[in-house]
Amino acid sequence: MCRYYLVVPWLRKALGYEKMFYVAEPSCGGFDEPVVYVAINGREYYFDGDLGEYVCTVEQCYADILTFWEPGPYLVDLLWSRDLLDVDKLYQLAGPRGRAVLAALVIWDGVLRGRSVSWGRFDPYREDFSGWLDYVAQWTTAYMLEDGARERFGI
């Protein structure tokens, strides 16, 4: 039996369905769309009757994007919606790369804003995030500064 799901982050669902990529078991094969082949066990997905596809939960979608896809464009989604997500679950569902990207985002957010921002209970310092800090900074700094940091720090 071939198990798979479509990764569509909640913002794309809200603003208009746009296919991203599939996550499928290695035995599936034959996808015409972009696909990542991995073991499906332990991943969170369900059948969405409106889309007519199996799709992942919000946290699983962002975990997969951070782990397998180009995460930059979606980092702002995480900044704006961190209070709506279970960030600890996202961290748990992500692979090593995804956890490192998320840790870099949390660290950069705290450094740039000069305060501790609630991102959940996980410890971002447990991850090797240093290779992702510049990347995260390029994608998110302007959005973080728009959130009041310019006034606080005179930037």
Q: Is the pLDDT of residue 138 over 90?
A: yes
List the domain range (segments joined by +) for residue 16: 4-145
Does 61 map to a domain?
yes
Q: Is the pLDDT of residue 121 over 70?
A: yes
pLDDT in the model for residue 14:
59
Q: Is the pLDDT of residue 12 over 60?
A: yes
Digit-coded pLDDT (tens) for 18-61: 678 999 999 998 888 899 999 999 999 999 998 899 999 999 99
| Average pLDDT, integer, range 6-25 | 78
Indicate the burial class of 40 (C-beta count within 10 angstroms; 0-12, 13-18, 19 or more).
middle
Does 128 map to a domain?
yes
Does 95 map to a domain?
yes
Residue with tokens 């078991």: 25
Q: Is the pLDDT of residue 10 over 90?
A: no
Does 153 map to a domain?
no
Does 151 map to a domain?
no
State the total domains in the chain. Answer: 1
Does 155 map to a domain?
no
Does 47 map to a domain?
yes
CA dihedral for 140, 143, 149, 154, sign (positive or negative): positive
pLDDT in the model for residue 133:
96
Does 152 map to a domain?
no
Greater pLDDT, 24 or 111: 24
